[in-house]
């Protein structure tokens, strides 16, 4: 029969985690996390700034109509 593209090691999440741990150790699971955290913080900062500017514009427009 066919294996539907799956290797003997497993191609799912568990297989991938196992391969990472066996090749790079447990620390391999966290490789690059600093960059992802910095990216997330920067994105949230920009989103909050944009939200604040839009909110200020809407409030200003509403007050000018009243």
In this predicted structure, the answer to whether residue 2 has a pLDDT above a threshold of 90 is no
Q: What is the pLDDT of residues 5-62, one digit of tens each?
A: 555 557 899 999 999 999 999 999 888 899 999 999 999 999 999 999 999 999 999 9
Identify the pLDDT of residue 66: 78
**Domain residues of the chain, as ranges?**
33-66
Question: String of b and e for 14-47 (b: at least 16 CB within 10 Å)?
Answer: eeeeeeeeeeeeeeeeeeeeeeeeeeeeeeeeee
In this predicted structure, the answer to whether residue 1 has a pLDDT above a threshold of 60 is no
pLDDT band at 4 (very low <50, low <70, confident <90, very high): low
């Amino acid at each position: 029969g066919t294996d539907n593209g799956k290797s003997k090691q497993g191609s799912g999440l568990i297989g991938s985690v196992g391969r990472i741990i066996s090749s790079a150790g447990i620390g391999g699971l966290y490789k690059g996390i600093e960059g992802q955290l910095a990216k997330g913080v920067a994105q949230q900062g920009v989103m909050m700034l944009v939200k604040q500017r839009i909110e200020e514009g809407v409030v200003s427009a509403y007050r000018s109509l009243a």
